[in-house]
């Protein structure tokens, strides 16, 4: 069938089963928006900034596992979207972002709203395309969705010049993709798997090191079974929170800079690390030469370049985690004796008794950790939790009782302030039956505050909980610890009235200074069904602890801070 490039874009969305597109129109992408106007197959949600459109698509993708989609125009529309692309790229989130471009005839002339978009997105996408003619478009769009969601997932950017969206060509949408240059290895090497299984059975102090790959590959159920049958304790990275239930006695907590003492000690003293889909981020490993230095390493990852990038691996296994575990688990079951690890589990339990993950509560001020714990008690599994970036993010990772995969949506790799609110809108759109909570800070929330308008208009009742310490808290904490309290530009005492700000946009706002008020505000906000801003005034000077200072070692944590 013959149609315009713009119509092809709409058709492709339909055929890919896209139900939501987040975006913002502009000159170069107007032909596509004209077709959006005429269709009823998907809902377009108009954000008030392109960055938010991409974060919303990202949040939608993280919460549902489906490919998130965003449309933006050329030039500034695209450059505004770059932070969103980079955020998704660092956390391996499947996404397709389509940008308008000036007509092919004007490319290279410094035309109005022209920028070399694919040149810019090259280093922050899994792949990108500049479409040269309408006849290439069906194949490119098919490939874009396939590449975004297969192998190690990631964002794909498609840049479409305006004349291509007007050009007529035959539309035949491919049913499958065959790229001779792109064939991700999904089956692990059986010999390697067998050797790894033996290593597990012969270990004395093994530990599971669970990364974001557990979530993105949909292997959490298998991993839970694996942990259960072997009775081997496990640590989770930030991106793996929810892989195991929070109350699983074998879960040692989060690992790394703000991980639990027992998790970091387990890594430091283990003789075997079973790494399932992590990428050995510096925020996890601390000083590399001291990281898990007694451990042999099994590393399963779909991305060969993740394996051996930072740490030497004894049993490298390239493959899809699910497929690898399906082969590995029966082999381990044959030889494993869960009692063998009893002494090891006892040691770790002792570590946890000495330094449990806790905070000192207060009657005088609200502690930020209390707020998170309290939301966990009240909403628990009912909420999907997004965060912004900073202290509140780490406290959420430490104290929220996560029970299932995809329950936490957070910018781990890039650490993008301003991510949480739009992402939580995407979460609400993808998981309408869940309460979409965004834990945020008084710094982060202002970085995409305009989305209050979107959330009201599009009826996406996100509950924003600001842990307001009138500081750019995490930077302030580093200034306290490492810069002799020279608080350079981190005092945010001057700030808007968040309650009235929310109300001005049609939402509801609450200012909370006591614990009792918090419970009431939360209940009211959840029941109101409109975007909410709960401004919780918390202890200003609270620090995220324990902490491995940057470049320090996991076994040498700062457990308390004495002024």
Partner 1 sequence: MKIERRVISVIVQNEHSVLARITSLFAARGYNIETLTVAPIPESNMSRLTIETRGNVRVIEQIIKQLHKLIPTYKVIEHEEMVEKEMVLMKFPINESLANIQALCEAYNGGIANVSSQHIITMVADEPKRVKHFIEAAQRFHPVEIVRGGVVAMERE
Residue 36 or 131: the one with the smaller Cβ distance to partner 1 is 131
Cβ proximity of 169 and 154 under 8 Å: no
303 binds partner 1 (CB under 8 A): yes
Cα gap 182→144, rounded to integer Å: 12
Region from 59-67, 297-305, 430-438, 513-521 binding partner 1, contact rule CB under 8 A: 297-305
The 3-state secondary structure of 304-340 reads: HHHCCCCCCCCEEEECCHHHHHHHHHHHHHHHCCHHH
Residue 114 or 451: the one with the smaller Cβ distance to partner 1 is 114
218 binds partner 1 (CB under 8 A): no
Q: Which candidate in 142, 162, 331, 428 is catalytic?
A: 162
Residue 179 or 190: the one with the smaller Cβ distance to partner 1 is 179
Site size with partner 1, rule: CB under 8 A: 18
Token readout for 360 is: 């000192």
Cα gap 388→84, rounded to integer Å: 13
Binder to partner 1 among 3, 57, 102, 147 (CB under 8 A)?
Answer: 147
For 349, the enclosing helix (H) or strand (E) is helix 342-354
Identify whether 546 is preceded by a cis peptide bond (ω within 30 of 0).
Answer: yes
Binder to partner 1 among 65, 308, 380, 552 (CB under 8 A)?
Answer: 308
Region from 3-11, 275-283, 304-312, 505-513 binding partner 1, contact rule CB under 8 A: 304-312
Active site residue 192: no
x-marked contacts with partner 1 along 521-540 as a string, rule CB under 8 A: --------------------
Region from 7-15, 28-36, 38-46, 116-124 binding partner 1, contact rule CB under 8 A: 116-124
Q: Report the nearest approach of partner 1 to the CB of residue 455 (Å).
A: 36
Cα gap 435→534, rounded to integer Å: 14
- How are beta strands 155-161 and 127-130 bridged, if at all? parallel
**Footprint of partner 1 on 404-463 (CB under 8 A):** none
Q: What is the DSSP letter of 13?
A: H
Q: Which candidate in 30, 42, 106, 113 is catalytic?
A: 113
The owner of tokens 């709960």 is: 534
Q: Report the nearest approach of partner 1 to the CB of residue 308 (Å).
A: 6
> In degrees rounded to 5, what are phi and psi of residue 273?
-110, 125
Q: Which candidate in 14, 39, 112, 523 is catalytic?
A: 112
- How are beta strands 463-468 and 435-441 bridged, if at all? parallel
Residue 99 or 386: the one with the smaller Cβ distance to partner 1 is 99
260 binds partner 1 (CB under 8 A): no
122 binds partner 1 (CB under 8 A): yes
> In degrees rounded to 5, what are phi and psi of residue 207?
-145, 140
282 binds partner 1 (CB under 8 A): no
289 binds partner 1 (CB under 8 A): no
118 binds partner 1 (CB under 8 A): yes
Q: What is the DSSP letter of 40?
A: -
Active site residue 558: no
Cα 205 off chain centre by: 30
Binder to partner 1 among 21, 98, 130, 394 (CB under 8 A)?
Answer: 130
Cα gap 113→208, rounded to integer Å: 50
Active site residue 333: no
Residue 31 or 121: the one with the smaller Cβ distance to partner 1 is 121
State the distance between the two ends of the chain, measured CA to CA, in whole angstroms: 73
Residue 89 or 395: the one with the smaller Cβ distance to partner 1 is 89
Cα gap 467→488, rounded to integer Å: 21
Q: What is the DSSP letter of 547?
A: B
Binder to partner 1 among 309, 382, 459, 485 (CB under 8 A)?
Answer: 309
Region from 305-313, 445-453, 485-493, 526-534 binding partner 1, contact rule CB under 8 A: 305-313
Cβ proximity of 324 and 295 under 8 Å: no
Residue 188 or 509: the one with the smaller Cβ distance to partner 1 is 188
Among 48, 37, 39, smallest CA distance to 18 is for 39
Q: Report the nearest approach of partner 1 to the CB of residue 212 (Å).
A: 17
Beta bridge partners of 436: 384
Angle, vertex CA 524, rays to CA 522 and CA 530, nearest 5 = 100
Active site residue 477: no
127 binds partner 1 (CB under 8 A): yes
Q: Compute CA distances 106 → 78, 130, 160, whole Å.
A: 17, 14, 13
Angle, vertex CA 308, rays to CA 310 and CA 150, nearest 5 = 110
Cα gap 267→235, rounded to integer Å: 8
Residue 118 or 416: the one with the smaller Cβ distance to partner 1 is 118
Region from 72-80, 123-131, 275-283, 373-381 binding partner 1, contact rule CB under 8 A: 123-131
119 binds partner 1 (CB under 8 A): yes
Residue 131 or 199: the one with the smaller Cβ distance to partner 1 is 131
Binder to partner 1 among 39, 123, 228, 358 (CB under 8 A)?
Answer: 123
Q: Which candidate in 50, 236, 323, 451 is catalytic?
A: 50
Active site residue 142: no
Residue 307 or 521: the one with the smaller Cβ distance to partner 1 is 307
3-state secondary structure of 266: helix
Q: Which candidate in 3, 328, 425, 474 is catalytic?
A: 474
Among 100, 88, 80, 102, smallest CA distance to 59 is for 88
Q: Report the nearest approach of partner 1 to the CB of residue 180 (Å).
A: 6
304 binds partner 1 (CB under 8 A): yes
Cβ proximity of 470 and 413 under 8 Å: no
126 binds partner 1 (CB under 8 A): yes
**Footprint of partner 1 on 172-201 (CB under 8 A):** 179-182
Cα gap 515→395, rounded to integer Å: 18
Residue 184 or 549: the one with the smaller Cβ distance to partner 1 is 184
Among 412, 366, 405, 371, smallest CA distance to 389 is for 412
Annotated catalytic residues are 50, 112-113, 162, 474
Residues in contact with partner 1 by the rule CB under 8 A? 118-119, 122-123, 126-127, 130, 132, 147, 179-182, 303-305, 308-309
């Amino acid at each position: 069938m013959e149609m315009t490039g713009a119509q092809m874009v709409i058709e492709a969305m339909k055929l890919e089963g896209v139900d939501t597109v987040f975006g913002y129109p502009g000159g170069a992408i107007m032909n596509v928006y004209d077709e959006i106007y005429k269709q009823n197959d998907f809902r377009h949600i108009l954000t008030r900034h392109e960055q938010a459109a991409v974060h919303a698509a990202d949040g939608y993708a993280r919460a549902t596992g489906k490919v998130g989609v965003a449309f933006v125009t050329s030039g500034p529309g695209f450059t505004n979207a770059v932070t969103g692309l980079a955020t998704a790229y660092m956390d391996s989130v499947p996404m397709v972002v389509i940008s308008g471009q000036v007509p092919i005839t004007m490319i290279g002339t410094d035309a109005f709203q022209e920028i070399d978009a694919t040149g810019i997105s090259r280093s922050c996408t899994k792949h990108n395309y500049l479409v040269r003619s309408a006849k290439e478009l069906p194949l490119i769009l098919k490939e874009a969705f396939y590449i975004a969601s297969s192998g190690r997932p990631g964002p794909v950017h498609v840049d479409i010049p305006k004349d291509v969206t007007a050009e007529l060509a035959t539309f035949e949408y491919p049913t499958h993709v065959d790229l001779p240059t792109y064939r991700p290895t999904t089956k692990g090497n059986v010999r390697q798997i067998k050797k790894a299984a033996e290593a597990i059975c012969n270990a004395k102090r093994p530990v599971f090191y669970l990364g974001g790959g557990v979530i993105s590959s949909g292997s959490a159920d298998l991993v839970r079974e694996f942990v259960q049958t072997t009775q081997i304790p496990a640590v989770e990275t930030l991106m793996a929170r929810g892989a195991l239930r929070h109350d699983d006695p074998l879960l040692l907590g989060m690992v790394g800079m703000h991980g639990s003492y027992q998790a970091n000690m387990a890594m430091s003293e283990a003789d075997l690390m079973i790494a399932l889909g992590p990428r050995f981020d510096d925020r996890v490993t601390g000083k590399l030469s001291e990281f898990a230095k007694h451990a042999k390493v099994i590393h399963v990852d779909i991305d060969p370049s993740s394996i051996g990038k930072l740490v030497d691996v004894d049993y490298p296994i390239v493959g899809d985690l699910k497929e690898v575990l399906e082969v590995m688990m029966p082999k381990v079951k044959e030889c494993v004796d869960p009692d063998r690890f009893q002494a090891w589990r006892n040691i770790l339990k002792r570590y946890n008794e000495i330094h449990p993950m806790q905070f000192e509560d207060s009657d005088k001020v609200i502690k930020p950790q209390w707020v998170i714990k309290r939301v966990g008690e009240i909403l628990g599994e009912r909420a999907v939790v997004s965060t912004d970036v900073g202290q509140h993010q780490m406290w959420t990772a430490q104290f929220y009782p996560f029970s299932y995969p995809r329950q936490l949506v957070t910018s781990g790799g890039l650490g993008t302030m301003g991510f949480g609110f739009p992402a939580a809108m995407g979460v609400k759109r993808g998981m309408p039956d869940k309460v979409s909570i965004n834990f945020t800070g008084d710094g982060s929330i202002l970085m995409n505050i305009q989305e209050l308008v979107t959330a009201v208009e599009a009826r996406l009742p996100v509950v924003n909980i600001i842990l307001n310490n009138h500081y750019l808290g995490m930077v302030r904490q580093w200034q306290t610890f490492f810069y002799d309290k020279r608080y350079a530009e981190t005092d945010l005492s001057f700030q808007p009235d968040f309650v009235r700000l929310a109300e001005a946009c049609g939402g509801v706002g609450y200012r909370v200074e006591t614990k009792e008020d918090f419970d009431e505000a939360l209940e009211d906000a959840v029941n109101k069904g409109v975007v909410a801003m709960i401004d919780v005034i918390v202890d200003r000077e609270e620090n995220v602890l324990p902490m491995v200072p940057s470049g320090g070692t996991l076994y040498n944590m700062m457990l308390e801070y004495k002024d």
